[in-house]
Chain A
């Protein structure tokens, strides 16, 4: 009888050799993420020096954090950013679930081409599609121009420079992050389950709620978390579509880091954002247990 290891056809590596193989990745993560993160943390505790932009690292203080937590403006901005990120995640999932299901079950031969089209925003980067959106959503853009031409509105709808516009832009940018995990999960579940439900008389609504949604749940959670985190830290889309009029946490961090050059405060804003991301991950993992 063959041992499972032999059956798998693999050969086991000695512990030293496996360490050697993961070492490059571990070093990369440590150097590219771990050390800068520690620096960020240290910088967020530095104290500002009167009349200078060079922070004093020898005198740690929590002043930057108390400025964020003790000020309605920053807390409101954090709440707005979280709400916009949640709306983006919800919007992406609502669009991604039927789209992924259709791609998995019905697209047939066109699937490859259609999946490539869905992934296109990832290949273009954030800037080009966002600039395209400015032309669509602007006061002189396609949407307002069409509505005005049809006589439906007298003055252009304010789509740019609003939270709604930013959420539209973020959904457009991050939809692939939601489609891919759901598609991967649906691909792994045999279509016969859904066919059996229909044969047994399930209505379409019941099929979606009782069969497809629970099957896709892990994909929905993974996609939701990816979109939420990307939206929370997004900078380009809120900056361009928001026209600098809607404050988000990432924009405040940019403003403080690169325009005001208050690096301790900018670092504290970034650390707060990271804390929000960690919290989002914890919430998602606990939701994973609540599979419907």
Chain B
């Protein structure tokens, strides 16, 4: 009996590496944001992948612009295999040949709503809406309400460049009767708000000031904001309707000429898979891009998760915006910050 047990254990131990032998000893390097995103990716993607393949997954944490700079600096000899980027970065990376174009035949591509995979695979859908102080705005505001004289100089903004600020410029242009292709209209309308009350880089900072009424409102991206609002009774978040919220996407990219292309593809398949996408929606209020995900309750109402909802969102001409970036950064420095 005891003999049999020892034999079974020995067999199991011997079989373990056999199952995972294909990728044992390899390390997949994934660049992403820290905090909740890393936690969810570790639980739902990295750990199952490690168990399945025997490879190790290493996360490189930081902001997406740091990763972008790293990709360009390492372009001849990349060390990252997978990188998470913003929608305004992905098409540029593809244009410079630093990421692998999304493969229309791959299961990941097919799982995602049509038209979403620009440059890389679409990972999550969030919208640019308005976070506001509920005492200053008894009713959820529309975009145009931010331009009322009472709030002059009291609107906080994200730094430029960012999805938030490109989106806010596009909204300003629409309020002025144009769109993002008319930068003069966008910048002069936005400058009417006065200098930003704060250039926000952290949620705690802006929410503390918004809670106290020092900041009246700010254009912010759903997702994190929605999942943090529980701690701030005095702060609300709304998706305005005129124009609708601006659609923003996080993208997951396979780095070109990376050391572990096959593992990278497997990671991406899991990242856009139903399990991870559902966890993203339920825990972070990030809308799924995978069309097979069905949500219920709070996650269903808080996230953008149906094609109909996507249709009401403002979609920006990102490739065009990316080309304007150097010039718009200068204009932002001068005309918005330098007021």
Binding site for B on A (CB under 8 A): 51-54, 73, 134, 138-140, 156, 161, 243-245, 247, 252, 255-263, 265
Contact = CB atoms under 8 A, between A and B. Distances in A.
Contact of A54 (B75, B201, B208, B329): B75
A178 B52 CA distance: 59
Contacts of A73: 330, 333-334, 338
A140 B208 CA distance: 9
A258 B198 CA distance: 21
Nearest to A72: B334
Contacts of A263: 72
24 contacts: A52-B96, A53-B96, A54-B75, A54-B96, A73-B330, A134-B205, A138-B209, A139-B209, A140-B214, A243-B199, A244-B199, A245-B196, A245-B337, A255-B329, A255-B333, A258-B65, A259-B65, A259-B159, A259-B161, A260-B325, A260-B329, A262-B326, A263-B72, A265-B326
Contacts of B333: 73, 247, 252, 255
A138 B197 CA distance: 12
Nearest to B328: A260
Q: Secondary structure at chain A's binding surface: helix, strand, loop or mixed?
A: loop
Contacts of A257: 69
A258 B96 contact: no
Contacts of B266: none
A161 B65 contact: no
A260 B337 contact: no
Interface in B197-245: 198-199, 201, 205, 208-209, 212, 214
Interface residues of B, number: 30
Given A53-B72, A54-B72, A260-B325, A244 B161 contact: no
Contacts of B105: none
B338 to A, nearest CB: 7
B92 interface: yes
A244 B195 CA distance: 11
Nearest to A265: B326
B193 interface: no
A81 to B, nearest CB: 14
Nearest to A55: B72
B168 to A, nearest CB: 15
A260 B333 CA distance: 13
B209 A244 contact: no
Given A73-B334, A134-B205, A262-B326, 14 more contacts: A51-B95, A138-B209, A139-B212, A140-B208, A156-B214, A243-B199, A244-B199, A245-B195, A245-B196, A247-B333, A247-B338, A260-B325, A261-B65, A261-B72
A28 B196 CA distance: 44
B110 to A, nearest CB: 30
Interface string B62-91: 000110110010010000000000000000
Contacts of B338: 73, 247
Contacts of B334: 73
Contacts of B326: 260, 262, 265
A134 B338 CA distance: 22
Contacts of B75: 54
B323 A51 contact: yes
B198 A161 contact: yes
Nearest to B68: A261
A250 to B, nearest CB: 14
Given A140-B208, A156-B214, A244 B95 contact: no
A52 B65 contact: no
Given A51-B323, A73-B330, A260-B329, A244 B68 contact: no
Top 3 A-B pairs, shortest CB-CB distance: A244-B199, A139-B214, A260-B329
A138 B326 CA distance: 32
Nearest to B329: A260
A140 B209 CA distance: 8
A270 B30 CA distance: 31
Which of A53, A134, A156, A261: most chain B CB closer than 10 A? A53
Which of A134, A140, A257: most chain B CB closer than 10 A? A140
Contacts of B201: 244
Contacts of A134: 205
B331 to A, nearest CB: 10
A262 B92 CA distance: 13
Contacts of A261: 65, 68-69, 72
Nearest to B208: A140
B212 to A, nearest CB: 5
A244 B337 contact: yes
A151 B95 CA distance: 59
Contacts of B205: 134
A108 to B, nearest CB: 44
Contacts of A265: 326
Given A53-B92, A245-B337, A259 B329 contact: yes
Nearest to B323: A51
Contact of B337 (A53, A54, A247, A259): A247
